[in-house]
Every structure is written in C-alpha cells, then in structure tokens.
Amino acid sequence: MGYKVAVVGATGAVGREMLTTLAERDFPATEVVALASEKSAGTEVSYGEDKTLKVQNLATYDFKGTDIALFSAGGSISEKYAPIAAAAGCVAIDNSSHFRMDPDVPLVVPEVNADAVSRYGKRNIIANPNCSTAQLVVALKPLHDLAKIKRVVVSTYQSVSGAGKEGMDELFSQTRAIYVNDPVENTQFTKQIAFNVIPHIDKFMDDGATKEEWKMTSEVKKILDPAIELVAMCVRVPVFIGHAESVFIETEKPLSVEEARDAMQDFPGLVVVDHRADEGYVTPHECAGEDAVYVSRVRQDPTVKNGLIFWCVSDNLRKGAALNAVQIAETLVKNHLEKAA
Ligand code: A2P
C-alpha cells in the first residue's frame, strides 16, 4: 500500500533532508508533495537522486487525501497548519517544539518509545523531539534499562544547522567577512558565531535556564522516564552539521564501562567508537550525513557512587530531525495505518 506524503518546509535545511531520507529509505509513498511559503511556490527541490518536485504554497494547499505530513517550518506554522492537516484526516508529524509537551500528543523516538505512536489518534499529531534530546535518549535508553539512570548532567555543542539554513548562511558569511576584513553582522545568533561559541540557544526562562535546556529536561522525562533528573547547558558552536554532547550520568545500580559499551553497541541506531587513541572517537564532522548516534570516550566518573561519562555525536538534521520524523512515519504506517486499511 502507498501513501501520499507532504513535507512542510521543503526548502529548509530539515525539509530537504526529509525529502532525501524519504527517498533513501524507500518510504512507501505514491506521491510526495513539497510545501513552503508563497515566495518559494513554483521553485524546485530535489527528491531522491534524479527527481525534482515543484514547491507548492502551504497556505492554499488542501490536505484532504494526504495521509502523512512532515512539518519543519517553525512553531507558528505548525501551530496553525498541523491542526488543519489533522482535521483533514492527515497525520501530522511535527518537528517543531509547539506540540511536544501536549499530553494528547505522543513525543517519539522510535528506538526508545515506538509504542507511544499508538496514541496518535487523539489529535492526529505526533511530535518529533528537539535534536539534542533525540540523540541523547538513544544513548541513555540501554543504560537506563540496565542500571536505572537517576541523574544526567549534559553539556551540548550544537551546530548552526539547528537554527536552519539561515543559521548556516550566517556562519559562512561571518567566516568569509573575517577573512576579507569586512564588517561582521549577526542577525540569526545573539553574538558572533564564527570563531566563537555562544552559551545561549532559544529564549531565557525565569530560572536562568534557556528554553533549549528546559526542552532537554522535559522531553527526556516524557520520552524515557519522568523520574530522571536532568540539567543541561546548551551551547551553539561554529560547526555546520552535527551536534555533540558530553554526558555525565548517575545510576541506581553499578555499571561497568564494559557493560555500558556492550549494551550501547547492541542497541539499534547506536554505534560505539571508543579506542582511547588519537583517532579513536567520533566528531561532528564525521557524523554529518550519517544516520547513527555515535558514542565515544566512555569512562567511569570517580567523583560519584555510580557514575559514567561519555561523548555522543549525531547528525542533527538526520537523527535529530528528518530521520527521526521518517522513522515515526514508518512506525505509523507499519503498526497502525496498514492494519487499519
Ligand atoms: P521558504 O523557503 O519558502 O521561506 P529553515 O528552518 O531551514 O530556515 O527552513 C524553514 C522552512 O520553513 C523553509 O522551507 C521555509 O520556506 C518554510 N516556511 C517559513 N515560513 C513559511 C510560511 N509562512 N509558510 C510555509 N512555509 C514556510
């Protein structure tokens, strides 16, 4: 059976990756529709190796007859159009943060909580987590199953593509400006991002945390376990693609480095590269364009009773966004839509 699939935000960094991922994974689509703003209507985007799609205007698109829509055009667009798509009988898989904490909307990373997809029918909307959360919960899940994680301390090193194609353009143009002695302008980030790091992603909350940090705490609780305490420091770094995280966990039961490595290596979507040698770890540069979440630098934390430290990297446009959304669509089709048909 085939499905009509729409990609909302098809001209953006994540939207383009969604189209690539749908084609690469042979998603059972009879038709794929590319949607963006009125200004992009009529332009073309690539779909697979040799096809192009003509972009249509989201504002005038009729979702009736479309089975699944993958949204990545920002929170306000999702807020307005995901319910319109849902009311027309289309399941919206939303990459924005808008619906993530809605109790009637499942928040899903298929390797971790695929069963939650079964609750999609309440609003016909399924939420995709924040990019930093998606890779983190994949790494945490096998350790939680083994030794029950009590507390997580995480610092992130997040690439500019997390802020969309305009964020990538800003890193490029600032870098160029510095080399040719032009004035440096920031419009997408609060400070210069080229040759710098910025400890500020999304707006500030009352307690001094940023919304990005709050999202990691609340989303890990919703996806993995509400009992886990998590505190994050989220930092934007001058990398185009690939988020890195240094992760410190405390578990209820003791967990050796070998047990942790073995469990992570056996977990779907997770690859351990940990050789304690010059090139024996993975960096964002190497994981760009890859589907897996990579774990390196696993070691004991000697400062707490049951503590473990590791490094985790993944392509934020893939597992952090497009791939996870397509995996949710695959789960939906396999476990729910096909059975209902
Ligand atoms: P457009 O290129 O037509 O503005 P990114 O996150 O990489 O910045 O991409 C944002 C995506 O969201 C783009 O595809 C963009 O389309 C789309 N988008 C932004 N505003 C709207 C809108 N008002 N209606 C439909 N799509 C929008």
Would you call 28 helix, strand, or coil by DSSP? coil
The predicted model gives 130-140 an average pLDDT of 98
**Which residue is it, tokens 């001209």?**
11
**Residue 245 identity (one-letter amino acid):** E
Q: What is the pTM of this model?
A: 0.96
Strand arrangement of the beta sheet that strand 125-127 belongs to: 56-57, 29-36, 3-8, 68-71, 91-94, 125-127
CA 56 centroid distance within chain: 25
Measured distance CA(140)–CA(150) in Å, rounded: 11
Q: How far is the CA of 199 from the centre of ligand 1 (A)?
A: 26
Tell me the percentage of the chain whose pLDDT exceeds 90.
97
User: Which pLDDT score is estimated for 338?
Assistant: 79
Decide: 189 and 171 in contact? Cβ < 8 Å: no
Ligand 1 environment, Cβ below 6 A: 9-15, 36-37, 39-40, 58, 73-74, 77, 164-166
Give yes or no for residue 290 having a pLDDT over 80: yes
Q: Whose C-alpha lies nearest to ligand 1, atom 9?
A: 12
Confidence of residue 228 (pLDDT cuts 50, 70, 90): very high
Architecture of 3-128+321-340 per CATH? 3-Layer(aba) Sandwich (3.40)
Measured distance CA(242)–CA(39) in Å, rounded: 29
Question: Tens digits of per-residue pLDDT, 272-289?
Answer: 999 999 999 999 999 999
Q: How far is the CA of 58 from the centre of ligand 1 (A)?
A: 10
Measured distance CA(115)–CA(121) in Å, rounded: 13
Q: How far is the CA of 315 from the centre of ligand 1 (A)?
A: 21
Q: Which ligand 1 atom sits closest to the C-alpha of 166?
A: 8
Give yes or no for residue 135 having a pLDDT over 90: yes
Confidence of residue 78 (pLDDT cuts 50, 70, 90): very high
Kindly compute the dihedral angle of the four CA atoms of residues 81, 84, 85, 91, in this order, to the nearest 10 degrees: 100
Q: How far is the CA of 73 from the centre of ligand 1 (A)?
A: 5
Tell me the percentage of the chain whose pLDDT exceeds 70.
99
Tell the burial category of 207 from Cβ atoms under 10 Å away from its Cβ (0-12, 13-18, 19+). exposed
User: Which pLDDT score is estimated for 44?
Assistant: 98
Question: How do the domains of the chain map onto residue ranges?
Answer: 3-128+321-340, 132-316
Question: Tens digits of per-residue pLDDT, 6-22?
Answer: 999 999 999 999 999 99
User: Which pLDDT score is estimated for 200?
Assistant: 98
Confidence of residue 339 (pLDDT cuts 50, 70, 90): low
Measured distance CA(125)–CA(260) in Å, rounded: 35
The predicted model gives 217-239 an average pLDDT of 98
Confidence of residue 192 (pLDDT cuts 50, 70, 90): very high
Phi and psi at residue 313, to the nearest 5°:
-130, 150
Q: Whose C-alpha lies nearest to ligand 1, atom 22?
A: 37
Give yes or no for residue 1 having a pLDDT over 90: no
User: Which pLDDT score is estimated for 141?
Assistant: 98
Measured distance CA(332)–CA(307) in Å, rounded: 37
Mean of the per-residue pLDDT values of the chain: 97
The predicted model gives 119-142 an average pLDDT of 98
Tell the burial category of 25 from Cβ atoms under 10 Å away from its Cβ (0-12, 13-18, 19+). middle
> Is 3.30.360.10 the CATH classification of the domain at 132-316?
yes
Kindly compute the dihedral angle of the four CA atoms of residues 59, 64, 66, 70, in this order, to the nearest 10 degrees: 40
Q: Whose C-alpha lies nearest to ligand 1, atom 4?
A: 37
Measured distance CA(70)–CA(94) in Å, rounded: 6
User: Which pLDDT score is estimated for 168?
Assistant: 98
Q: Which mutation among 7, 11, 84 tests ligand 1's pocket best, with the greatest number of atoms within 8 A of CB? A: 11
Intra-chain end-to-end CA distance of the chain, in Å: 9
Phi and psi at residue 258, to the nearest 5°:
-65, -45
Q: Which mutation among 14, 37, 55, 317 tests ligand 1's pocket best, with the greatest number of atoms within 8 A of CB? A: 37
Give yes or no for residue 340 having a pLDDT over 80: no
Tell the burial category of 62 from Cβ atoms under 10 Å away from its Cβ (0-12, 13-18, 19+). exposed
Decide: 86 and 288 in contact? Cβ < 8 Å: no
The predicted model gives 162-180 an average pLDDT of 97
Q: What is the DSSP string of 276-321?
A: SSTT-S--HHHHTT--SEEEEEEEE-TTSTTEEEEEEEE-TTIIII
User: Which pLDDT score is estimated for 341?
Assistant: 67
Question: Tens digits of per-residue pLDDT, 194-221?
Answer: 999 999 999 999 999 999 999 999 999 9
